[in-house]
Structure formats: C-alpha cells, structure tokens
Amino acid sequence: MKIDVISLFPKMFESPFAEGMIKRALDKKIIELECHDMRKWAWNSYGAVDDRPYGGGVGMLIRVDVIDQALKEIKKNKNSKVILTSAKGKKFTQQMAREWSKEDNLIFICGRYEGFDERVVDLVDEEVSIGEYVLTGGELPTMVMIDSVTRLLDGVLGKDESNKDESFSENSVLEYPQYTRPAEYLGKNVPEILLSGDPKKIKQWQEAKKELK
C-alpha cells in the first residue's frame, strides 16, 4: 500500500515510524510512506499556505488552491482514497481501518491552524476525527490511523496477533484478562485455573470472562 501524507511538519513522521511494527512494514515494503511538505504548493514565494478568512474572524485558513494543487500532483492516475483530518469529522473506527486496509493508496491531509477553507472538504473522500477532543494538528491523528491500518495488512503481525482483531466489533473489544509470571505478586494471585494445565477448563474460563470494553 502506498501512503502519502501532506503536512506542514513532515519530519514529525520520522521517529514514530522508525520503530516497531510500522518500521517492519516499511522494511518489508508492505507499505511505502511518502510525507510531503505542504509548503511545496505554497501560493506565494514566502511559503504561505493559509490566508485570512472572508467575513473576518480569528486565525488563518489553509487555502483550497494549495490542497487542490497538492492532490493533483500526488494523485496522478492512481485510485486513491483522500482523508482529511479534522476534529469535526466522522469518528474513526476499527471498521474503517479494515475497509481502508483494502485500498492501494491512502492520502492523508493534516489539518493545522484554525482550519481549512470549507471547499477543501469537496476535494476529499472522508473528513475524519480520532476522538472528541481538539489537537493542535492532524499529524498525530494521521499517525494513529496509519498505525491501525498497517497492522491489518498481510505480513505485518504474526498469526496469533492477527486473530485478535476478530474480537473487535464496531466500537468495542471483547477480551478476557491475561496474566504472566510471577504467579503471585504483592499478595495477588493468578487465577488457579490458569495454572491447572487443563486446556478445556481454561478455554471455558476465558470465554466466561470475556468482557465488552
């Protein structure tokens, strides 16, 4: 999968993706990640990508022509899904991650400042939020979404970890409690049944303890 990111801070993506599962996915070429500096499509020679809002108001808005030019260059003839990060967007879910994991190319546009010219919304397929709180920009949401999509791609996780995804419904997760050594710590013991070595009983216990989180 090819993933393009349009951001004012493309360097923010370097260190989080230089470790762990995402690094593995990049090394194995399961994903290819290209982070583009939005200023490449600046509307003036000073590198400006934003402008004052018509009708007044505080802050600056990212211009529609900047994003249009960026998408024209990045999209080429590819069948791409374009995602705009925004606190007022549709809430990101595991189900969306599953659907996006089937795409060939995802393009994320990271929001900044006070927002975008509303016409940017017409240029994208989805306007997406990662939760009901306001962040300073769309870089962290984009990283969260890339992480959750990438872990679903073939070859990124081991088989056991992959199966875990089966327990997710749209907005919740079914899980049973798990323990490792030591069997007793500060007076708290691992449930006896897990030490019994009886796989049938253990399975029954795990099923009974599954909880919606």
Which chain residues interact with ligand ADE by CB under 6 A? Answer: 85-87, 111, 129-131, 133-135, 138, 141
The alpha carbon of residue 4 and the mean position of all alpha carbons in its chain are separated, in whole angstroms, by: 13
The residue among 54 and 133 lying less far from ligand ADE, judged by its C-beta, is: 133
Residue whose CB is less far from ligand ADE, 22 or 84: 84
Minimum distance of ligand ADE from residue 85's CB (angstroms): 4
Phi-psi region of 101 (alpha: psi -120 to 50; beta: other; left: phi over 0): alpha
Q: How far is the CB of 193 from ligand ADE (least distance, A)?
A: 42
Answer for the pair 139, 15: CB distance below 8 angstroms, yes or no.
no
38 or 157: CB nearest ligand ADE: 38
Q: Angle at which helices 20-27 and 139-150 pack, to 10 degrees?
A: 70
Q: Least distance from C-beta 132 to ligand ADE, angstroms?
A: 7
The contacts of residue 75 (CB under 8 Å, 6+ apart) are 82, 107
Measured from the CB of residue 145, what is the shortest distance to ligand ADE in angstroms? Answer: 9
Could you tell me if 144 and 119 are in contact, meaning their C-beta atoms sit under 8 angstroms apart? no
Q: Which is nearer to ligand ADE, 22 or 109 (CB)?
A: 109
Rounded CA-CA distance 204/113 in Å is 52
- Any idea which residue has 């999209």 for tokens? 75
Query: Is the CB of 42 or the CB of 87 nearer to ligand ADE?
Result: 87
Smallest gap from Cβ 56 to ligand ADE, in A, equals 23
Our CB check for ligand ADE shows the closer of 134 and 208 to be: 134
Tally of CA atoms within 13 A in the half-sphere of 130 that contains its CB: 20
Distance CA 112, CA 22 (A): 24
The enclosing H or E element of 27 equals helix 20-27
Q: How far is the CB of 131 from ligand ADE (least distance, A)?
A: 5
